[in-house]
Amino acid sequence: MSLVSNQFWRPFPAQLTSPTLTATQSWALRLEVRRPDMPAYANAGPLGALYESILEISDPGGSLRCRIPVTAQGTQTKGVQFAVQGLAPRVRAKAAKASDSPLAGLWVGAATVNSVSQPSNVTDPSTPSAAASDFQLRLIFHVDASGHARLLQRVFQLWQPGTTTNTGAGISEVAQPGHFVLVSDERYLSRFTGSTIVDGSLVGRRYSSAGFGFDNSISNVIDNTFGGTNLWSCRVTCGYDDPSNPFKHKYHPDHDNLVEGYQNLPADKQKLPEGVESFTVRRDIQLRFTATDPDGLPLAGWGDNQIGGNYAESISGLHRSTINVSGTFRLRRASTVAVLNDGLTSP
């Protein structure tokens, strides 16, 4: 367990001594469990395993003695995955949906890009060097129950209302409880309701990144080992005729990828080939996760509800030479929902 001291977390000692307080004074403590430091519990049983302890608060005179029970579950505890047999059908179904991956859910954060290569540097055009200022790039990832991660451009947090059934004598029973959902495909939005109230109306919560323009919110994943100290990589491609391509302008005749006088030509003759007015842009992104905060900050939730590491990206198509950038990144868990679009496969 850790406690906050001067805005930084530090280990909780076996015995913590408070400063001298008067009858009108108080001492506020903020505690957090270091769940990544808890070892795996192999024999968790059908309902999981809890780590338990007692916090005892007392005064030197012995007039005060308060014992507070505390419990926590480690990130490596597989819990209900070990056994679901012998449970009631409803409990067993719920247990079977438990996630194998401790990182399953939605992760939102940013990369701080602080170094960029200089193609005009004749001695070393490819190695990133310190930039004049930092650039913040919004990152959104979803990790499914098996630990596979996807880079998202946008995602909506919505609510799926529950259903009830009539058991007779006018008694209703919950058949399927309501639950939060994460939707990356906008065709599914009408199937769900809002997840929060704004000005008296139910609305969904949207996460989006202006740093990516790919459609359908999913990029091409190359290396899919997310978290820990692993390397995760993907390629994001922006076609030369994509509306979000930086070389293309819909209303500029020199950047519309159309031949002069295209209005008088058949449709298959109107388009210019790549490389005339626009170029395909490819972004190869690498995330190298680290076991601790990349800047050395003592964070109690690192590896649990906070992860990150070193960020690197190679950009081709913007310049005749590949541009390389680097920095650090941090992500915070925004949801534990392990399924995108509530498992739907068609609108």
Report how far residue 83's alpha carbon sits from residue 100's, in angstroms, rounded to the nearest whole number.
13
- Measured CA to CA in angstroms, residue 105 lies from 72, 206, 276 at distances of 19, 15, 43
pLDDT at 84: 32
Closest Cα partner for 10 from 2, 1, 22, 19? 2
CATH 2.40.160 intervals, the chain = 105-153+209-239+280-343
Under 8 Å between Cβ of 102 and 76: yes
For the chain, which ranges sit under pLDDT 70?
A: 3-7, 40-49, 75-100, 216-220, 346-347
pLDDT at 318: 93
Q: What is the pTM of this model?
A: 0.78
- 188-222 tens-digit pLDDT: 898 999 888 888 888 889 999 999 887 765 656 77
pLDDT at 172: 81
For every residue of 266-316, which 3-state class applies, written as one string?
Answer: CHHHCECCCCCCCCCEEEEEEEEECCCCCCCCCCCCECCCEEEEEEEEEEE
* CATH number given to 105-153+209-239+280-343: 2.40.160
pLDDT at 44: 59
Question: Largest Cα–Cα distance in the chain?
Answer: 97
pLDDT at 94: 43
3-class DSSP assignment, residue 188: helix
Length of the chain: 347
